[in-house]
Chains A and B, each alone.
Chain A
Amino acid sequence: MNRLFKEYEIGGFFDEMFSAPGMVRPHYQRLTRRFSEMEDGEFDRKRLLAEKSYLNQGITFTVYSGDEGTERIFPFDLIPRIIPAKEWEHIERGLIQRLEALNLFLHDIYHEQRIIKEKVIPDEIVRSAKHFRPELMGFDVPKNIYIHICGTDLIRDANGVYTVLEDNGRCPSGVSYVLENRQAMKRVFPKLFARYQVRPVDRYAQDLLAVLRHVAPHENPDPTVVVLTPGIYNSAYFEHSFLARSMGIEIVTGSDLLVKDSRVFMKTTKGLRQVDVIYRRIDDDFIDPTVFRKDSVLGVPGIVEAYRKGNVNLANAIGTGVADDKVTYYFVPKMIKFYLGEEPILPNVETYLSADDTDRKFILENLEKLVVKAANESGGYGMLIGPHATTEETEKFRVAILADPRGYIAQPVVLLSRSPSYCDGSVEGRHIDLRPYILCGEKTSIIPGGLTRVALRKGSLVVNSSQGGGSKDTWVLDEEEELQTQSQTQTQTQAG
């Protein structure tokens, strides 16, 4: 056994790499062998090499403290997370099913509202959702696709079961790290890739562009597609620019666009040029000061009118936030049954609604055991992790829940699976999740894997980058590779 893993402790969690102390799961065996061939200091050298390449490429996000924003790299852990082909096939089917149901739900909610009439979801839950947009009632989006790009967060529980933690159906970010992490790994461990059959992720940008072109207004066969960013000071600007470059399209800010005669144009050196599809990385609230937040300077006045007239399409559609509300989340398994007549392939985490009287009573009695989440927050904010919280924090949430029952949900603390990660000179188990990116166009597709986020702080369950999270490269293996690994294991076993 390699030095790096010699003192590794599984610690009562589901461990991605070890099935028992010293027992490496088959799909990780080549990796641990490669790591055991490393000379002293080689791992550290590789780690610094990767870090430097991120810094030089400017793959950074901005953290604001004091008057000067500092650029940080998103910590990258060199030990990859590996998913066998069979597991991935299961995840893939589950995610496609889920997104299909969410898109049917959104169409229904903005049209007949059958799901409410048939009492599967209470009317007030939808109406009170912060991101429900009654302005768009009755409006038909091209090809009936609302969520074109979805980032669904998956975790594995104590038994290793893949479970959905939340859906991000507005502007999910992080996919650029999936692609850049892969580049970094290839640079640092070229030989390892030659030995493993890892499914490639490079086609994401081309798939995304195909989706955006597919949903152009008026079936335009040659639409002008752009990425709309809040600007270089946005923490995800690197990603916006990365995607625009990878798709070979323009990246624009709100002030590069203007609306004339209900059509959207960009301001170019050759005059005004019409824009057909906008991959917008600006939330609904900020996209049009004449319709939503009046103080927004990031958006484009009049763009919603152009959208409603069908002269421009937005991805994702306006109003998808009602589907990734954490209270709506509770109903997704019911939606799957209602719209598709199928059982959910991927389960939800057990969830209590504080809007429900019985559930609320239970939540308030068990605050110190539960995780409480604000229905409309993201990025790891607005969250109470009962067992780790102070009495003061717990009491704050108690008051908040009583004041706004619709605004919160609670879940038992899920013991996220752990993966060996490099922390200050040794390898220790750290909790991880997985965010695959699902694209819905002519067909629904997912690049193999996604972003594995890792909570680098010891004991932490929060993987968000703003809260000390990092990421890992995620390898989905080819079926062939897996067979090879299995037969090898068997041979080894037979040989004793």
Chain B
Amino acid sequence: MLSRVADSCFWLSRYIERAETNARILDVNMQLMLDFEDQNPNMLDQHWQPVLATLEDQELFSKYHEKITPEAVMEFVTFAKKNPGAIISCIAAARENARTVREQISSEMWEQLNRTFLYLRDGMARADFQDSPIDFYRGLVDKLHAFQGTSDATMIHGEGWDFLQLGKYLERADSTSRVLDIKYHILLPRGEQVGGHVDITQWMAVLRSCSALEAYLKTNVGEVTGWQVAEFLILHGEFPRSIRFCANQLNSALHSISGCEPGYFSNEAERLCGMLRSNLNYATIGAIFETGLHQFLDQTQLALIDIADAITETYCRWMDT
């Protein structure tokens, strides 16, 4: 496969996943706000700051807006073309990448993505958003899931597919780590205790934004604690958005591309990914909290960046010659 095509598949998939993360985070945050309706408006606006922090959009945001308001943040993260991390920009970038690999992906995939793009571009999306933001974000996530399903059902599960998986799981591991980290940025209101009502609501929001609440409650009956939520989202072996699950999928896709036997490595990307994977497979939540959750998540994000660089170096090194 052409290196450029591999690279485009990888990024196409990352952008789709990134758009989905944005939609989930906004959806959940909005719901969270509804739970705290009785607080004073200034406090409520403060709750939108962590959204920007998670998405690393703060600096650009403050260039265009003086004050954080829910409307400004939603607009900025959803429709603002000047924000390269906005949902609309991610979908446009995914589509640009898809255009360059039309012969690799199926026509059904392209049409699903193109329809989503036209929907966002042509004002229909905004009308839906004004009717009901929550329904809008859910609808959008559905459209992106339809893309994943269409891909699964219509594309050859060969090398191009493996590169899509790389992009998807790398981005997803990264976004789960960011969503978890959001809790680190949220300050508990004065007088609230860890483990108290507000704390629990916030952890539940974290679970919801990973579509993990129901799955979590099946494993941890009736109890929501930071410790257990973190354990679930980092270490669960079968939940498709846990960091460990993503690292394992990443590892399989890498081995499927190279044909290298499981448990061995044939290039730097496989070596780094193997290390991350063992780290997660053999970690306990106790040890993680001992290091500090924030530090652990930080290290994980750095490891993911190194893996992405190594993938480029391994498979696309001719690209710039």
A493 sits at the interface (CB 8 A): no
Cβ contact within 8 Å between B115 and A268: no
Distance in angstroms between the alpha carbons of A242 and B3 in the assembled complex: 20
B111 / chain A contacts, CB cutoff of 8 Å? 56-58
Note all chain B residues with C-beta closer than 8 A to A245: 102-103
* A241 interface neighbour in B4, B96, B102, B315, Cβ under 8 Å: B102
**B150: shortest Cβ distance to chain A, in Å?**
13
> Most chain-A CB neighbours within 10 Å: which of B1, B96, B159?
B1
Task: Give the secondary structure class of B's interface.
Answer: helix
Q: Does B2 contact A (CB under 8 A)?
A: yes
Given A56-B111, A58-B99, A232-B96, verify A272-B2 contact (CB < 8 Å).
no
A272 touches B118 (CB 8 A): no
Within 8 Å of chain B (Cβ to Cβ): is A256? yes
* Residue in B closest to A226 when the chains form the complex, CB atoms: B2
- Closest partner residue, chain B, to A229 (CB atom): B100
Contacting residues, chain B, for A266 (C-beta < 8 A): 2
* Interfacial chain A residues near B114, Cβ < 8 Å: 56-58
Separation in Å of the B167 CB from the closest CB of chain A? 14
- Residues of A244-278 contacting chain B, CB below 8 A: 244-245, 249-253, 255-256, 258, 266-272
Contact A237 B99 (CB under 8 A): yes
Residue in chain B with minimal CB distance to A246? B103
Minimum CB–CB distance for A365 against chain B, Å: 51
Residues of B within 8 A of A271 (CB): 318
Query: What is the CA–CA distance of A272 and B318 in the complex, to the nearest angstrom?
Result: 8
Set of chain B residues within 8 Å of A270, measured between Cβ atoms: 1
Q: How far is the CB of A466 from chain B (nearest CB, A)?
A: 21
The count of chain B contact residues (Cβ–Cβ below 8 Å) is 24
- Does A161 reach chain B (CB closer than 8 Å)? no
A55 adjacent to chain B (CB < 8 Å): yes
Are A256 and B2 in touch, CB under 8 angstroms?
yes
Complex Cα spacing A253 to B6, Å: 14
With A57-B111, A252-B2 given, is the CB distance from A269 to B99 under 8 Å? no
What CA separation (Å) do A241 and B3 show in the bound complex? 17
Instruction: Give the dominant DSSP class at A's interface.
Output: mixed
* Cβ B6 vs Cβ A269 within 8 A: yes
Residues of chain A lying within 8 A (CB to CB) of residue B321: 258, 267
User: Which of these, A58, A253, A269, contacts B316 with CB under 8 Å?
Assistant: A269
Q: Looking across the interface, which residue of chain B has its beta carbon closest to that of A265?
A: B318
| A242 contacts across to B, CB distance below 8 A | 102
Interface mask (B158-170 → A, CB under 8 Å = 1, otherwise 0): 0100000000000
- Among A232, A252, A258, the residue within 8 A (CB) of B99 is A232
B146 at the interface (CB under 8 A from A): no
B275 contacts the other chain (CB 8 A): no
B96 lies within 8 A of A253 (CB)? no
Cα distance, A256 to B3, chains bound together (Å): 8
Give the nearest-CB partner of B318 in chain A: A267
Q: Are A253 and B4 in contact (CB under 8 A)?
A: yes
B interface footprint on A219-251 (CB within 8 Å = 1, 0 otherwise): 000000000000110000100011011000111
> Separation in Å of the B155 CB from the closest CB of chain A?
13
Interface centre among B3, B111, B114, B257 (most CB of A within 10 A): B3
Instruction: Known contacts A256-B2, A269-B1; decide if A251 and B316 are in contact (CB<8 Å).
Output: no
Residues of A within 8 A of B315 (CB): 269
* Contact for B103 among A251, A256, A258, CB less than 8 A: A251
How far does the alpha carbon of A255 sit from the alpha carbon of B118 in the complex, in Å? 30
**Does B110 touch A at the CB level, under 8 Å?**
yes
| CB neighbours of B102 from chain A (8 A) | 241-242, 245, 251
A267 touches B107 (CB 8 A): no
Nearest opposing residue in chain A for B257, CB measure: A269
Residue with the highest number of chain B CB atoms closer than 10 Å, among A258, A267, A269: A269
Within 8 A of A (CB), among B257-273: 257
Q: Chain A's nearest CB lies how many Å from the CB of B1?
A: 5
Complex alpha-carbon distance, A455 and B277, angstroms: 62
Closest 9 CB pairs of A and B: A267-B318, A245-B103, A269-B315, A241-B102, A244-B103, A267-B3, A269-B6, A232-B99, A58-B114
- What is A's interface to B at a CB cutoff of 8 Å? 55-58, 231-232, 237, 241-242, 244-245, 249-253, 255-256, 258, 266-272
Given contacts A57-B110, A232-B100, A269-B159, list 12 more A-B pairs with CB under 8 A.
A57-B111, A57-B114, A232-B96, A249-B103, A252-B4, A256-B3, A266-B2, A267-B2, A267-B316, A267-B319, A269-B1, A269-B316
Mind listing 13 A-B residue pairs with CB under 8 Å? Answer: A56-B115, A58-B111, A241-B102, A245-B103, A252-B2, A256-B2, A258-B318, A267-B4, A267-B319, A268-B2, A269-B3, A269-B6, A269-B159
